Amino acid sequence: MNKIFAIAGMLNYVFVVFLNAFTDLGHKIIVQNTIFKVYEGNLQIILTAIVNALILLPFIITFSPAGFLSDRFAKSKIMEYSALFAVLITLLITYAYYQGWFYTAFFMTFLLALQSALYAPAKYGYIKELVGVERISSGNGVVQATTTVAILGGIIFYSLFFEMLLGDSFASKEDVLQTVAPLGWLLVLGSLIEWMLARKLPNKMGYESLKRFDFTRYRSGLYLRKNLKTVMRKREVFEAVLALSLFWSISQVVLAIFGEYAKSELGVTNALMVQGVMALAGIGIVIGSILVARLSTFYIQTGFAAVGAFGITFIVFMIPLLDSMTVIAIMFMLFGFFAGFIMVPLNAYIQFLSPNVHLGTILAGNNFIQNIFMIAFLLLTTLFAFFGMNAEILFYCMGFVGVALFWLLLKRHFVMTFWALAQLLLSIRYRFVYHGLENLPHNGAILMLGNHVSWIDWAIIQFPIQRRLNYMMDKEIYNKKIFHHILKKGEIIPISPRAFKDGFKIAKERLVSGKIVVLFPEGEIAKTPQTAEFKRGYELIGSDYEGVLLPFYIDGINGSIFSRTKEKRGLFGKREVHLYIGRALPKDIDAATLYKEVTTLKERYETQQTQIFTL
């Protein structure tokens, strides 16, 4: 993660992202806090929902233009001119504050959101250009954490100064705005600094685009239909967009109704306290985003999205059952934590699967569909509030939407979800260090042979490899009902002492089809720290397949609770586990020579400079 800030322009870009979110959020907080102070009950929910809708609407209207601009021009320039537009808008907003023009300031939220809508595809598309595909998860983690810190800081900063300036001396919404008007100059200052920094961003556009925008086609809806087809072309991309849309819809409704819920059900009237509790979700997002980015070092681990969906669904169901603001604050932090699990991998996944020539269009389409969903949910919220449905019922409604989100992600990423859970749980106790990953071909058949020291060797080997591994396993364990469905889904190859030739035949078929097969020639987990003699069964696989044979050696897991060798160890501190992967060996290598190659791997790696990867 630290290496990403060494990329030229990255630090500047992070500050630009921060200031854009901080300024946009500042005006929204001032308007929302004014509504919170002046209005009550369902009218408060309705006006808050309308403010959120004004922020979302520009992303729908500018779908085609925003995508065109991001694909046609350098994304750094789009961010620069959008920031300049924000300077002009914040000057007008500040003037409206001083005049006490509440509805003018209210509806100018739309203009401020308009520049964000034009800016967004360029901002997210620039990640891929700036950091490259290999660091796309880390890049998204940094941007998501930065945006969240900006939102969190904006909520606390503007709510704090809002309360300090306002006090209790106001009679109307006009009085509120005029009293807090000096905050407008902070909006202007933030936009001005953002513009100055955006001017220094490096141009990473590696090709010249000759696209032209036809307003006639835009007005007739031809662009809309064409661009939506582009977004839906890859089912994986569209499902990721749909999942993000459901997530943001849940989040929007929860944030829109919590103020009224806190006021009516918990008796909380302090705007800073209410905003502060919701802002704690931001701390959770930062932690969750950084954690997922770190655990996705080697590839985009989409399984974390399903884990996150389960987490936020559980929390949304729990909040209306609680009557303590302290406990609810913890719930909001956990909500943010799991939100990071959803946002980082899915955004990275969309960017990764999108061709550069259509990246801006697809990211704009992502915003378009998300905002259609969010506005629809906010309209439903407004309608339900108008007919007297309280915030508690709306929380339960969003919980059921969360169930649908979880099911969508689990169905698409079932196997990856299993691995994400395994990785998340094991990373609490273990630090995995990998040597020789560069020896792994990106495609083609690979037969991996090495020592067997614990019950979690399968996980240690799988974590840094995006392609799914085909392990050979004892048939009795494979056929146990509690494991069978998952093991079959994971393409495990069953093998038994009585019919071991059948297992090796299946392994050969998998290799011929270009897959990775992993086999432990010891035949069982080692009972001593020393590697046991290798059995010759693997030789039945033969060498007549297109691929390579790679040796591996696992070190550092002996003595853990997952091994058969025990040693005393403290309860705290992580155990460091090393996986050494050697260079390709002859495919017809005999067991004795293979044993020597595997057991000397660690020694050979320690005597030479190699690239080390950690998880």
Looking at residue 209, its pLDDT comes to 58
Question: Starting from the edge strand earliest in sequence, which strands make up the sheet with 493-495, in order?
Answer: 493-495, 469-474, 516-519, 445-450, 547-555, 575-581, 430-435, 612-614
Q: Are 308 and 288 in contact (CB under 8 A)?
A: yes
CA distances (Å), origin 607, targets 81, 391, 436, 582, 602:
54, 64, 14, 14, 9
Q: Which two tokens stand for residue 331?
A: 């719930």
DSSP label at 516? E
pLDDT at 316: 92
Q: How many whole angstroms separate alpha carbon 594 and alpha carbon 449? A: 8
The pLDDT tens digits of the residues spanning 457-483 come to 888 999 998 888 888 877 777 777 777
CA atoms within 13 A of residue 309's CA, in its CB half-sphere = 33
Q: Return all residues near 322 (Cβ < 8 A) that are at least 6 apart.
A: 328, 331
d(CA 519, CA 452): 9
134 is written with which tokens?
């290999």
d(CA 159, CA 157): 6
Provide the whole-model pTM.
Answer: 0.74
* Structure-token match 């979302």, residue found: 56
CA-closest candidate to residue 554, choices 400, 434, 443, 467: 434
| Residues contacting residue 473 through CB under 8 Å, at least 6 positions apart | 487, 492, 493, 494, 495
Question: Beta partners for 585?
Answer: 549
Closest among 246, 228, 240 to 362, alpha carbons compared: 228
In this prediction, residue 568 carries a pLDDT of: 53
CA distances from 555 to 36, 446, 563 (A): 59, 21, 12
pLDDT of amino acid 112: 84
Q: Could you identify the residue written with the tokens 């061709």?
A: 355
Low-confidence residues of the chain, pLDDT below 50? Answer: none
The pLDDT tens digits of the residues spanning 36-81 come to 777 776 777 677 777 777 877 887 777 777 777 777 778 888 888 8
In terms of DSSP bridges, do strands 547-555 and 445-450 run parallel, antiparallel, or are they unpaired?
A: parallel
Residue whose token pair is 């907080």: 29
Q: Which residues contact 278 (CB under 8 A, 6 or more apart)?
A: 155, 255, 258, 332
At 239-278, the pLDDT tens digits run: 998 999 999 889 888 877 787 777 777 777 776 677 778 7
State how far the alpha carbon of 410 is from the alpha carbons of 418, 521, 569, in Å.
Answer: 10, 34, 37
- In order of their start, the domains of the chain are 2-200+218-412 (1.20.1250.20), 426-614 (no CATH)
Collapsing DSSP to helix, strand or coil, 268 comes out as coil
Gap between the Cα atoms of 101 and 93, Å rounded: 9
For residues 426 and 422, what is the distance between their CA atoms, to the nearest angstrom?
A: 6
Quick count: other Cβ atoms within 10 Å of Cβ 301? 28
Q: Residue 255: name the closest of 417, 394, 70, 78 by CA.
A: 394
Cα–Cα distances in angstroms (integers) from residue 169 to residues 164, 175, 180, 353, in the given order: 11, 8, 11, 55
Give 92-124 as a 3 state SS string: HHHHHHHHCCHHHHHHHHHHHHHHHHHHHHHHH
∠ CA 341-344-346, nearest 5°, is: 95
Partners of 548 in the β-ladder: 446
